[in-house]
Amino acid sequence: MSTGNTKKPEIDDLLRRALADDLPPEAEAGMRRRIARFRETKAESAPARPWGVAARAWLFRRTVWAALSILMLVAGLLLQGGKPRGPLVERIAAIKTEFASLDTTRR
């Protein structure tokens, strides 16, 4: 596309020729071993870290709490709409019935 790219193979050849014996084979082998070891350790520790980080990020995500709170609100309203029975409800009903019977007795 551009004219600048046509000179690239020539420059590459020139660089290869000029730097052909820059790196001794032992050093190259050593570097390759090191890179391989680094990759291995990275691959070993990789699965554990993202799990913890992801779980924490998920727990502190605003949208999770927003969804959870709205779910709680809706669940509470729906439960209350269904006239729930509970120890306090039963006790209040008993008190109210007692008051009603008291009124009937007076009459």
Compute the CA torsion angle 7, 12, 15, 16 (nearest 10 deg): -150
| Shortest separation between residue 107's beta carbon and another protein, angstroms | 10
Structure tokens at 58: 């998920």
| Shortest separation between residue 73's beta carbon and another protein, angstroms | 4
Phi, psi angle pair for 32, to nearest 5°: -65, -40
| Shortest separation between residue 7's beta carbon and another protein, angstroms | 58
> Mask of contacts with another protein, 57-86, x by CB under 8 A?
-----x--xx-xxxxxxxxxx-xxx-xxxx
**Cβ proximity to another protein, 26 vs 103, nearer residue:** 103
Binding range to another protein, per CB under 8 A, among 7-15, 41-49, 50-58, 99-107: 99-107
**Residue-wise over 14-32: b if at least 16 C-beta within 10 A, else e?**
eeeeeeeeeeeeeeeeeee
